[in-house]
Structure 1
Amino acid sequence: MSDQEKMATNMSIRAIIESLNDILGGNGARVILKKAGVDHLFNAPPNNDWEPCITVKDQARMFTEVTNVLGLTGALGIWRRIGYLGFKNTVEIARVLDPISNNGLSPDMKFIKGMEIYREGTGKGGPAMDENGRPAFDVPECVICEGYRLDRPICSSYEGVIQYLANWAYGENVYNVREKRCKAMGHDSCFFVLEKK
């Protein structure tokens, strides 16, 4: 299957739509979706399930349109919030982390298992280890930075998702998430690490 044929799940697209609506309001969300060519999803959002929704290429256009409307600097904060709120809403509505919440796993294993669940739902990224042996997250198939060539990392949506998972697994105010490598900077993947606060 080519990259253009890969599908984003209903759950991941619904999370983006709900987050855009929460952050930008209904009119702002509608503008982004219309410019991305998926405005039909505003009035008929997808179900909260793992079924295919739209192509990954269409999903990438949604992120691109946030940048086109708000500029890159404005988009970075929105993308991070989309990641955090989107995954938070998915956890609260679909209860995707319930099976591993109270089963005696160490915080590191909870974090790793949470990342595996995220990968299962989105088809993107997966657990890795940083150079210090700490859990990290690697996204070789990132669509957020597609087409960018910059001197800084920009995939803040994943930072938001991973920050939610870190807060859930380790507790709030323990770790900050930082993107250490980014495809926009010429790396092979986008790589995220946990740093002590």
Structure 2
Amino acid sequence: MNPSTHIYYYPNQMARILLLSGDEILGQAGMSAVLNAIPGGSRFVENYPPANQKLEFPFELVAGLQASLELNYGPHGGRGLSMRIGRASFQHGLCEFGPLFGLTDLAFRLLPLKTKLKVGANAFADIFNKHSDQRVRIEDRETHLCWHIERCPVCWGRKTEAPACHLAVGLLQEALYWVSGGKMFNVEEAQCCAVGDSQCSILIDKTPLG
């Protein structure tokens, strides 16, 4: 697939959550600088998308946010900030989308951990598959869950030397922390479209650290 021939979108509400999370981590001035460095991003400076489900925020701007963070803060700093923004995005997004898929129900919270991981991963994937143009597929292996992003907004159109979907990694880290009641898991991107792979694949250990 040649990304330049397709236009795919996040809903405005997801984009708003992402940008407000950037505000929280970078401060408004820092977020404005990041947006100004993205082609087409300046129109969102202090003018975030409305909280609706219209598909109007293009993948190119999501990928541009990640690239701009690396440009403004260096590869290492940009990676860390992207993961923090991803974690904050889950915290804010859970309030908006979690109830739609039963993620905040008491019955879900009482499930055994391994069951919660699988059920939660599939429900979380459904949020993206049903409300955005992102496409996620879950693969259940013996020791890992594999979060395969077959149409990835985070690295859309980018070319990098190493996996670059740090926003997605941070988002999943926080989701796992919440689902498990405060446990940490190893989360690692093993494949990335930006380095030439056919999909972005993030591996999640089923056993928490420690």
Measured against the shorter chain, the TM-score band is: 0.7 to 0.9
SS at match of 1:104: helix
Equivalent pair of 1:111/1:169 in contact (CA under 8 Å): no
Q: How far apart are residue 136 of structure 1 and its match?
A: 2.3
Q: How far apart are residue 8 of structure 1 and its match?
A: 2.2
- TM (norm. structure 2) is 0.80
| In structure 2, distance between residues paired with 1:174 and 1:6 | 32
Tell me the residue number matched to 1:12: 14
Equivalent pair of 1:4/1:55 in contact (CA under 8 Å): no
Tell me the residue number matched to 2:107: 104
SS at match of 2:160: coil
Q: How far apart are residue 174 of structure 1 and its match?
A: 4.8
Tell me the residue number matched to 1:52: 55
Equivalent pair of 2:10/2:134 in contact (CA under 8 Å): no
Structure 1 runs not aligned, ≥5 long: none
- TM (norm. structure 1) is 0.85
Identical residues among aligned pairs (%): 19
| In structure 2, distance between residues paired with 1:3 and 1:77 | 31
Q: Which amino acid aligns with 2:19?
A: I
| In structure 2, distance between residues paired with 1:51 and 1:69 | 30
| In structure 2, distance between residues paired with 1:138 and 1:25 | 32
* Distance 1:4-1:74 versus aligned 2 partners, 3 A rule: farther
* Distance 1:67-1:4 versus aligned 2 partners, 3 A rule: farther
Match of 1:148 among 152, 159, 163: 159
| In structure 2, distance between residues paired with 1:91 and 1:149 | 30
Tell me the residue number matched to 1:117: 127
Q: How many residues align?
A: 194
Q: Which residues in structure 2 correspond to 1:29-178 (within 5 Å)?
A: 29-36=31-38, 37-92=40-95, 94=96, 96-99=97-100, 100=102, 101-102=104-105, 104-105=107-108, 106-107=115-116, 108-132=118-142, 134-145=144-155, 146-150=157-161, 152-178=162-188
* Distance 1:124-1:72 versus aligned 2 partners, 3 A rule: same
Equivalent pair of 1:14/1:45 in contact (CA under 8 Å): yes
SS at match of 1:147: coil
Instruction: State the Cα deviation string for residues 115-151 of structure 1 (Å, max 9, x = none).
Output: 211333343241321542743211122243343231x
Q: CA RMSD in A?
A: 2.4
Q: Which has the higher mean CA deviation after the structures are superposed, 113-122 or 20-29?
A: 113-122
* Distance 1:82-1:141 versus aligned 2 partners, 3 A rule: same
